[in-house]
Amino acid sequence: MHIVELKLVRIVELLIGIPFGIGGFIIGATYPLLVITGLHHTYTMIETSLLANTGFNPVITLCAMYGFANVGTCLAFLAKAKKENVRQTAVGAMLSQLFGISEPVLFGIQIRYNLRPLVIMLCSSGLGAALLSILNIRSNSYGLAVLPSYLMYIYEGRQLLWYFIVSLISVTLCFTLTYMFGIPQEVLETDDAGSHDGNDADYIETDHGQISVRINSPLTGKAVPMTEVPDDTFAAQVLGKGMAVLPSEGKVVAPCEAEVTTVFDTKHAIGLTTKEGVELLIHIGINTVELGGKYYEVHVAEGDQVRPGQLLVTFDIAKIQNAGYNLTTPVIVTNTDDYKTVEGMASGTVKFMDSFVKVEN
């Protein structure tokens, strides 16, 4: 194991040593992809070894520009988006990112909106890391991100000054490029309830024009209020309101007629958009992105039109739990702020297609 560790450290050192900041760009641009797949934890071993052998940790320095670029993404959406729910998502995601929690930005904005914001963030993170590599900036610690990360450079004035300057460049670059090229048309339009054909059994429009959509349960198990989900991001409803299920059967079905809008490479989450425009994220388990797709099988593809009760995902409950993961599964209305109310309808045991969440406008 020690031999493998030394080899990995050597590879990273060689990358960092590639001239003109090329190695720094590679590390800075690829690190966010490792976060999405959960593989970024492998860097901890490398950073620990670097600190033990050299007293410095240039890896966290290069990776940290990812967090600052994410802040730029949030600021761009906050400044340009017209939809109030998108602006609120951007504020919540930015506040989380300032203290090192990046999932709300990744899943709530960058992956959700046609991947253009993600590509811009990767380039901004890579360019910021390249500058730091050229300047030979390196921390003397690890584990701190965005605002707290400045503490890792107070040991020398030059290090702190250049790290501060490059971090601002990363924020500004990502903000500018996202503002100009990364904001999708759908968030530039003002809030509008849209039109409905009235043929969906889960859709009701009253005489007073009130819209009510019922979302059925995509799982069988125990209903869990979102505020009780054992994860701070979900419990704080940063990504939206909804409910969760602690599953007793390892499959997820379509809760209603919908389009599959997102299938994560790690198979642990799937996004749907109903006929009425309700956007759903079904996230199977807590931190299960770290499994990299093990014990999951997806049965649909992005763009598929699915009918109520159609099988979407199967997963091995026993193996996932034995790997140390909680399988509480949030079902989130990610465009919550488009609606007047989003509230749970279930308690105790729920079965597939039981009434689960009610959305009203």
Task: Map tokens 């429009």 to a residue.
Answer: 205
Mean pLDDT of the chain: 88
Q: How confident is the model at residue 6 (pLDDT cuts 50, 70, 90)?
A: low
Residue 209: predicted pLDDT: 52
Residue 2: predicted pLDDT: 61
Residue 82: predicted pLDDT: 83
Q: Which amino acid is at 47?
A: E
Residue 193: predicted pLDDT: 37
Q: How confident is the model at residue 39 (pLDDT cuts 50, 70, 90)?
A: confident
Residue 189: predicted pLDDT: 67
- Rounded Cα distance between 315 and 146, Å, is 35
Count of CB atoms situated within 10 Å of the CB of 3 = 7
Written out in words, the top-level CATH class of the domain with range 212-360 is mainly beta
Specify the DSSP element, H or E, that contains 306: strand 305-306
- Rounded Cα distance between 130 and 128, Å, is 5
% the chain with pLDDT above 70? 91
Q: How confident is the model at residue 126 (pLDDT cuts 50, 70, 90)?
A: very high
The winner for highest mean pLDDT among 101-105, 113-117, 157-161 is 157-161
pLDDT digits (tens, 9 = 90+) for 43-61: 887 888 888 888 999 999 9
- Rounded Cα distance between 10 and 46, Å, is 9
Q: Between 356 and 2, whose confidence is greater?
A: 356
The pTM of this model reads 0.59
Residue 197 has pLDDT above 70, yes or no: no
Q: How confident is the model at residue 184 (pLDDT cuts 50, 70, 90)?
A: confident
Residue 176 has pLDDT above 80, yes or no: yes
Residue 8: predicted pLDDT: 67
Facing residues of 270 across strands?
A: 263, 282
Handedness of CA 90, 95, 99, 104 (dihedral sign): negative
Q: Between 171 and 44, whose confidence is greater?
A: 171
Assigned token pair, 179: 């503002």
Residue 191 has pLDDT above 60, yes or no: no
Taking residues 78-96, what's their average pLDDT?
89
- Rounded Cα distance between 159 and 152, Å, is 9
Taking residues 238-248, what's their average pLDDT?
95
Is 208 labeled as catalytic in the residue annotation?
no
Residue 192 has pLDDT above 90, yes or no: no
Assigned token pair, 102: 């990046």
In three-state form (DSSP H/G/I as H, E/B as E, the rest C), the secondary structure along 117-161 is HHHHHHHHHHHHHHHHHHHCCCECCCCCCCHHHHHHHCCCHHHHH
Residue 194 has pLDDT above 50, yes or no: no
Residue 203: predicted pLDDT: 52
Cβ burial 109-127 (10 Å sphere, 16+ → b, else e) = bbbbbeeebbbbbbbbbbb
Residue 200 has pLDDT above 50, yes or no: no
Residue 25 has pLDDT above 80, yes or no: yes
> Strands 349-350 and 211-216, how do they pair?
unpaired
Assigned token pair, 171: 């924020």
Residue 349 has pLDDT above 90, yes or no: yes
Catalytic residue among 2, 41, 196, 283: 283
- Rounded Cα distance between 82 and 69, Å, is 22
Instruction: Find the range with the poorest average confidence among 49-53, 108-112, 217-221, 337-341.
Output: 49-53
- Rounded Cα distance between 158 and 160, Å, is 6
The structural domains of the chain, with segments of one domain joined by +, span 1-187, 212-360
Residue 175 CB partners (closer than 8 Å, separation 6+): 72, 73, 75, 76, 79
